[in-house]
A and B are shown apart, each in its own frame.
Chain A
């Protein structure tokens, strides 16, 4: 199974400041045939289902604010919130769908400082 390791476990950022979350996979999730990284990011707020933010490591899902961006390739990935808003307080998960079983990171809790 591919193990997804996120860091940090939690972070607190002032409103309007940048938040950066890292995710590392135990093996590459880059699919060579189409040069796509099979890596997604989700936002999870209490009492709600998770919400897809980013897929293919860097493609923003429709309707997701452009302050959310994803980067990285192979085994190392980053989710950046460029200017934290109060509504961004949540737990963020990376997830690989390169191979079954699909696996998630342990989550990063983002709070306002």
Chain B
């Protein structure tokens, strides 16, 4: 059974930093691209970033480019999101998500999701 268990999150002041983690099990983690998706309270789902299965390629939404960094440690079956220069508009539930297919061109269908973790940016 695929499981994605998230940790991190919490309250941080504007301009601060936070790191989210996502521990994967039940599949060959290194074979899959992984994503972060967020949803601000009462707002739409927003794709945030992705890292390829081999970790060589990363892509970001314009809203977080230059401030957020996605990374992975395949030896620990773990995905990370380092968030810096946080703003009020970054307040959201953050979900890690697994691609539906392994190592292909069909990336961006989110077949499994973590439980979500709330990040609140507030002074």
Mark A residues whose CB is within 8 Å of B: 36, 38, 40, 42, 44, 49-52, 55, 61, 93, 95, 97, 100-107
Residues of B with C-beta under 8 A to A107:
44-45
Query: B residues 64-123 with Cβ under 8 Å of A?
Result: 95, 100, 106-111, 113-116
Query: What is the bound-complex CA distance between A33 and B56, given in angstroms?
Result: 25
- B44: contacting residue among A97, A102, A106, CB under 8 A: A106
Q: B59: CB under 8 A from chain A?
A: yes
Chain B residues engaging chain A, CB cutoff 8 angstroms = 35, 37, 44-47, 50, 59, 61-62, 95, 100, 106-111, 113-116
A14 to B45, CA, bound (A): 27
Query: What are 30 A-B pairs with beta-carbon distances under 8 A?
Result: A36-B106, A38-B106, A40-B109, A40-B110, A42-B110, A44-B45, A49-B115, A50-B37, A50-B45, A50-B95, A52-B110, A61-B100, A61-B111, A93-B44, A93-B45, A95-B45, A95-B108, A95-B110, A97-B107, A100-B50, A100-B59, A100-B108, A102-B108, A103-B47, A104-B44, A104-B45, A104-B46, A104-B47, A105-B44, A106-B44
